[in-house]
Structure 1
Amino acid sequence: MFQSEMFQGSDLLFKDSTKCLQEVIKGQSFKDFLGKDHYDAVTSLKNCSTSASELEKACTFHTCQQKV
């Protein structure tokens, strides 16, 4: 689906070995889908700070990160 080596990296978007994506059941939150431990780990990394990378700014809908 995606080859990170074209961008001088590996597993940049998701694992390079990924063959397909799994659809989340309608009405299910991504918190429920991921599980509490994984959700807490991921959200602890996100504080909506001004230190976001250009890639993250381009891929987010948080208004605090769309300031250039």
Structure 2
Amino acid sequence: MFQSEGSNLLFKDSTKCLQEVIKGQSFKDFLGKEYYDTVTSLKTCSTSVSELEKACTFHTCQRKV
């Protein structure tokens, strides 16, 4: 399905298909509480903003209010 030269990709080159999410199901429900809690706990300090995040949110319309 995919062929790439890079690493740290969203999908592996060996990916055969993508799973369909049930209509109306939230991403939190789809991923599961344990996974969601783990990922959200990675950024618990509001002052820890990566350079990539800063670059992606420099425009005022992309900032959280």
The TM-score with structure 2 as length reference comes to 0.57
Deviation at 1:63, TM superposition (A): 2.0
- Give structure 2 stretches of 5+ with no counterpart: none
Structure 1: gaps (5+ residues): none
CA distance in structure 1 between the aligned counterparts of 2:7 and 2:22, rounded to whole angstroms: 29
Shift of 1:50: 4.1
1:53 maps to what in 2? 52
TM alignment of 1:22-33, pairs within 5 A: 22-33=19-30
Over the aligned positions, Cα root-mean-square deviation in angstroms equals 3.2
CA 1:44/1:3 → structure 2, altered by over 3 Å: closer, same or farther?
Answer: farther
Aligned sequence identity (%): 75
> How many Å separate the matches in 1 of 2:42 and 2:2?
24
Match of 2:3 in 1: 3
Number of positions where the alignment pairs a residue of Structure 1 with one of Structure 2: 57
1:15 to 4, 7, 12: 12
Aligned to 1:53, what secondary structure does the other structure show? helix
Confirm or deny: 8 A CA contact 1:4 1:16 kept in the other structure.
yes
TM-score by length of 1: 0.55
Larger Rg: 2
